[in-house]
Structure 1
């Protein structure tokens, strides 16, 4: 179990008691440690959210605490999750129950890089939520560039395996969109401050981070719409290519239809076909076939069918 005092920097401390403290704290522990020591804290009486699988990121207001769960996507390997952990907080501090170590990693980054101008629980939560979405603007920019490259390939007629790539990116963006919605719900729960755990003057922190998540949500929504447009564009290009191939085959068939007629005509083996006994019959027939092919090709090129 790791304990921190919220001051200008998150200060690691050792605590023997967790009641009647004159400062706010952050604690990270495992689920087994929570089961053993939950009675040390005046919170979490209704904390059953940890056992709910697949519930996603959420927060619930209880009589004496706000409890919830963070389900963080692995930005490098979506739709896999980087980890899940629960939390419980009141006006005295926040406890993270984490068996995977992700909450501890986020807190370490805050502790090593952040100096709190206004040390308080609200500011810590602001920094914590900021760490979750820290590089997401760059991530969405990379998605934007990839989709632009896909669009260029489609314009160039390279549609092989493109639909599969678009579908994969759309699924990843959809997961991010859901993730941002859940984070916004958590921010709104904090901002409403139903239990009055937070100072009114500090509620602006939740509003600020909620606005940033909202902008990311709007951006990922536009990218999802872009993938839908690309999918339709790719499908239309594929249909156009197929129609072009069919038109080409139709033209080729049209060119050879007169030749097929000539072959069929002279394949009837009638006894009285006077030109069969003439020396000029074969070369003349060949010349006629060549002329038919040339005329047909010239005609279809003028009609821009070849």
Structure 2
């Protein structure tokens, strides 16, 4: 499921801005990674403490600081102290149940959204998967960009490789472009998710047309539940990107606006795809119900045919099983073979009749 609010009660009665991690602990140890770059130089120093970040303030470069793992609240608190971040923003970073949003302050911007990744389900017959949700917070300052992630993964590895190997746009533009590139990396992960969901829907649809089972219904319901959670994470991104595009902050240059519009277009495509898949799953559920009903109708039709054949035979057997004295056929020497002839002829005639009526 997308979110569990099991830890939210920890904040009950505490004043606003109290820093406490709320959510599932994805990493026991926090890791700080830094990339400091300019047009012609690049540095990836090993950083152990927040204090070591202060030296990058004196450089005319862009510094990207990525904190993976939010359990160590002290690190987030120190970043807030040294870079003058509002306590309510720090509180939102540590509360991993935030709705995607964009907030504008005098000296920095705050963006929070959900990163979605796939975990294959090896036990599924439909190429199934489960979706892993991770809250990612982004702080955009004049020369710094901070990202706060719940777990250590390779989500930003392609972007890091671009920074390492490229002397192009990503190295020549400012922190606003880096913020765009980070957002773009997170949003584009959703296309991978949608491709996997499309394959799963195709597999279920094929199974529905051949041999629908109870497992098929379970697969449809599981996908519907996942899709609801995915849409809950993706839908607010439209409002988030619209707020960024409407913002007149000096931290986002006019040249970078067009790139944020491109991310907005991606979000629209993803939202439309989730709506389309939701309609498809509703149709698949209707097809499943119809398939099961048709299968039951075929079984009932076959049973009805057998019942129709044996009703007249039971009627004849009932008449001659009453043991009345004055039944002349009982004394007839050909009575037994004759009744067997009737028993054989009557079902044959009925079967031919059913065939002509196309009931079989």
Q: TM-score, normalised by structure 2?
A: 0.75
Shift of 1:163: 1.8
- SS of the aligned residue for 1:101 comes to coil
Specify the alignment match of 1:286 in structure 2.
Answer: 340
Q: How does 1:123-134 map to 2 (within 5 A)?
A: 123-134=177-188
In structure 2, C-alpha distance between the alignment counterparts of 1:199 and 1:138, rounded to whole Å: 30
Specify the alignment match of 1:2 in structure 2.
Answer: 33
Shift of 1:40: 0.9
Specify the alignment match of 2:224 in structure 1.
Answer: 170
Moved over 6 A (4+): none
Instruction: Please say if 1:113 is aligned against 2:151.
Output: no
Shift of 1:182: 3.1
2:234 aligns with one of 171, 177, 180: 180
Tell me: CA distance 1:154–1:11, structure 2 relative to 1, closer, same or farther (3 Å): same
Which consecutive unaligned segments of at least 5 residues does structure 2 have? 1-31, 46-51, 121-128
Specify the alignment match of 1:33 in structure 2.
Answer: 75
- SS of the aligned residue for 1:272 comes to coil
RMSD between aligned residues:
2.7
Q: Any idea what the Cα deviations from partners look like across 1:21-72, whole Å, max 9, x if unmatched?
A: 6433222235321213422113334312124342243333345433243332
- SS of the aligned residue for 2:118 comes to coil
Q: Any idea what the Cα deviations from partners look like across 1:145-185, whole Å, max 9, x if unmatched?
A: 43233323322344452222122222223333333223333
Which consecutive unaligned segments of at least 5 residues does structure 1 have? none
Specify the alignment match of 1:227 in structure 2.
Answer: 281
In structure 2, C-alpha distance between the alignment counterparts of 1:257 and 1:18, rounded to whole Å: 94
Specify the alignment match of 2:119 in structure 1.
Answer: 76
Shift of 1:261: 0.5
Tell me: CA distance 1:79–1:67, structure 2 relative to 1, closer, same or farther (3 Å): farther
8 Å Cα contact 2:102/2:243 also seen in 1: yes
2:151 aligns with one of 100, 123, 135: 100
8 Å Cα contact 1:6/1:120 also seen in 2: no
Specify the alignment match of 2:291 in structure 1.
Answer: 237
